[in-house]
Structure 1
Amino acid sequence: MKILKRILFVILGLIALLLIVALFVKKDYAITKEVVINKPVVEVFNYVRYLKNQDNYSIWNQIDPGMKKVYTGTDGTIGFIYAWDSKNKNAGKGAQEIKAIDENKRVDVEIRFEKPMEGTNQASVITTPIDSNKTKVEWGFYGKSPYPFNLMNLCMDALVGSDLQTNLENLKKVLEK
């Protein structure tokens, strides 16, 4: 019985410690990754502005090739919505909507997740010319986590950052073919 009490106290202590740590962790997070693509900025931008093209380089879009996809509006323009619904819990259900476009510079997207967890995040793809045939592409993912879930912000870069970098490397391969 004493062992069970000690185990219970240790578990409660760990939970209390995590809750205390969460008090000091920022609620906002921002993850950005980048790659240099050997193509002119106009060519790169004109590819990344279309959400449907993510099927060619985003590992998230490739989790379930059979997922249901619904498109609303004109791709590559403000207001276009790309919605998905998958039975695969890793893909889940949600939608992306183009919220802003700064021609040849930036596309801002709102991502609304429904399953497996509800949430709304922002993403941006920024294209910056390095020279006439090289473009830096930065993909950012931004959000906010309420207490005590903000504790997860400590590992968001590990959870999402590697996927963003893989997506950018895939984009580079597609565009440099």
Structure 2
Amino acid sequence: MFKIILIAVGVAIGGVLVFAATRPDRFVVTRTAVIDAPPETLEAMVSDFHQWSAWSPWEKMDPGMTRTYGGPASGVGSTYSWVGNDKVGSGGMEIETVTPGREVVFGLHFLKPFKADNTGRFVFEPQGAGGTKVTWSMAGKNPYIAKLMGLVFNMDQMIGKDFEKGLADMKAIAERQA
């Protein structure tokens, strides 16, 4: 009987491991908000890492984190790195592309709690009289360990909540300024 239980457990574990391997090799997390401010205002908030402390949800998770800025004050080539607590870890970002009033693309490199290289993107689309649809996304590779963890933790919901909070804070700030 004990042998049968061990075989059943082994088959179940093997099934989970095989199923995890069939998950997608890439991931994308995307959230959108409509903000009553012009695209240029929002692009400026994103392409200047100094402004992220006002709206980024991770800045609020560890206000005491160490921040380092490099390159130009904003736009292509500007960099931002951080070392923080267990909630925010450490890593860096660099603005790679800015299409004025339309899009900001940045490399996002995590060092801790795990190493990962992703691409972040903000897309700004005019909406009606003075409003802007803002789409914030992050995309990257989905290694096997992430596929396995994804069976238990929904990364889209976990990261998506932070994106939603960040967009809400961005909306509040931008609409006060507009």
Q: 1:1-177 residue pairs with structure 2 within 5 A? A: 2=2, 6=5, 8-9=6-7, 11-86=9-84, 88-153=85-150, 155-177=154-176
Matching residue's letter, 1:12: G
Deviation at 1:90, TM superposition (A): 1.0
Deviations 1:90-146 (Å, cap 9, x if unpaired)?
111100111111111000011111111111111001111012410010000101122
**Which SS does the other structure have where 2:147 is aligned?**
helix
Deviation at 1:153, TM superposition (A): 4.8
Asked if the contact 2:94/2:107 (under 8 Å) is kept, the reply is: yes
| TM value normalised by structure 1 | 0.89
Q: Percent identity?
A: 29
Which structure 1 segments of 5+ residues have no match?
Answer: none
Q: CA RMSD in A?
A: 2.0
**Which SS does the other structure have where 1:108 is aligned?**
strand
